[in-house]
Chain A
């Protein structure tokens, strides 16, 4: 008789504890709200080897059953790679752009060359918006079309962030002012990482209407190429940076000081070409030589 009420309250208490414990367990397991620190800690839960592997395989397309996303990203998409790859790309592009600008202007202007810090702002705007807005749009599109692959936004963001990693070595190499090399690098970079992107998103679009799927894939490739071409033209090609220079003064400067040296250079080139069979080039150079004289 005495034990009964106590047992009852004990039971209620037990239920309370049970509820509390299950609540704690659920909280601890996976569903942290986004405003808590632990939520983001989960997105940085990667090791060095893992990150290096993700960077490497984002550059090498492997056709087969398991895509890049399934093979390397799927269990835990991280934000470490995307964030630091985009940040590195911003600064490397700005630094490389300045170096390219210096190489273009060296010896041409007689004024002191100044570096342009504000290339950083432009590069940051371009890269961060590409790396965030495009995944957002793609995710929205996949949701809207009802894709069966169930790619989450974080996974798409992660794939896109890593796909930019190939442009870091490329934008270092873009500094070399050789036009065909620059265009070759654009093609190599776009084809390699672009095809990884296409292979990754093909399973998500496969079940959809074929026209839509191909259109979306083409758009992905187009934007990827546009980023590369835009960066190269804006930061690394001569015409943009030469534009503010007054052309008449430049040509006058060239005529007065460097004509002799230009002629000497051309004649050495011609003598070196003497043994080679490319007579067309030789003729062209002779023509230009005559016109400058």
Chain B
């Protein structure tokens, strides 16, 4: 009896194993397919000129510049430093544009970088830090540089971890990248607020303008990051993933509206 039972269990396990193997294989095949099509897309996107201009591939191995297209795209060893920097800057600039105009979702998610978030975070921390005589007393006044810095990065990391834990299908740094780039709208509202604060007499009307500008930046940041990140969640949990994003930008907007020289 025991032997039969063991055999039965074994067979069920085997069936399950095959099922798992099958799932694994099909998953592998799917991802390989995706990878392949992505590669194909990239190749098609990036070197059409190469394929059109130079169809015959024979030539000398030692010739330094065989074709312009392939040199520019794939070989960065002997390109000028200016080109390299400009290419990265252009990528950062494109991402900034996509954040302000969140239509193409894939553009920001495809290849993440943390340059934009770093720039924005340093900018926020420098602008929002309290003056030194306030910092001495520590009981009153604005945050220190490091406090803003930590709030921004830790906030982005915690929000990302939250969406990962809820079962979101997005990589860690992609999400941090999106959250960081979406700080652009609050940063712009901060610049406008600082310009308004230059006025000699601060009235209630000016405060209301500052309030509206900050709220607009906050709403835009939440809207844009939700557009990028919201789809990675199952629909039943979308609100649970969006709420921490809302809180994150809300706190940063509070820092912006409260900041005064």
Which A residues are within 8 Å of any B CB, using their own CB?
Answer: 14, 17-18, 21-22, 25, 37, 40-41, 43-49, 51, 80, 83-84, 87-88, 91, 95, 98, 112, 114-118
Contacts and interface: CB of A to CB of B under 8 A. Distances in A.
B238 A48 contact: yes
Contacts of A17: 10, 13, 17
A145 to B, nearest CB: 34
22 contacts: A14-B10, A41-B165, A44-B162, A44-B165, A44-B166, A47-B236, A48-B236, A48-B237, A49-B236, A51-B240, A80-B162, A84-B162, A84-B243, A91-B247, A91-B251, A114-B142, A115-B259, A116-B140, A117-B130, A117-B142, A117-B255, A118-B139
B239 to A, nearest CB: 4
Interface of B: 6, 9-10, 13, 16-17, 130, 134, 138-143, 147, 162, 164-167, 236-240, 243-244, 247, 250-251, 254-255, 258-260
Nearest to A98: B258
A21 B134 CA distance: 63
Contacts of A88: 247
A100 B10 CA distance: 69
Contacts of A118: 138-141, 143
Contact of A91 (B16, B17, B254): B254
B258 A115 contact: yes
A215 to B, nearest CB: 38
B165 A40 contact: yes
Nearest to A21: B13
Q: Which of A45, A98, A112, A115 has the most CB of B within 10 A?
A: A115
A196 B250 CA distance: 30
A46 B170 CA distance: 19
A21 B236 CA distance: 33
A209 to B, nearest CB: 41
A84 B244 contact: yes
A180 B9 CA distance: 70
Nearest to B241: A48
Contacts of A45: 167
B167 A115 contact: no
B142 A115 contact: yes
Contacts of B141: 114-118
B173 to A, nearest CB: 16
A228 B147 CA distance: 27
Given A40-B165, A47-B237, 14 more contacts: A18-B13, A37-B164, A44-B162, A47-B240, A48-B237, A48-B238, A48-B240, A91-B247, A91-B250, A91-B254, A98-B258, A114-B142, A115-B260, A118-B140
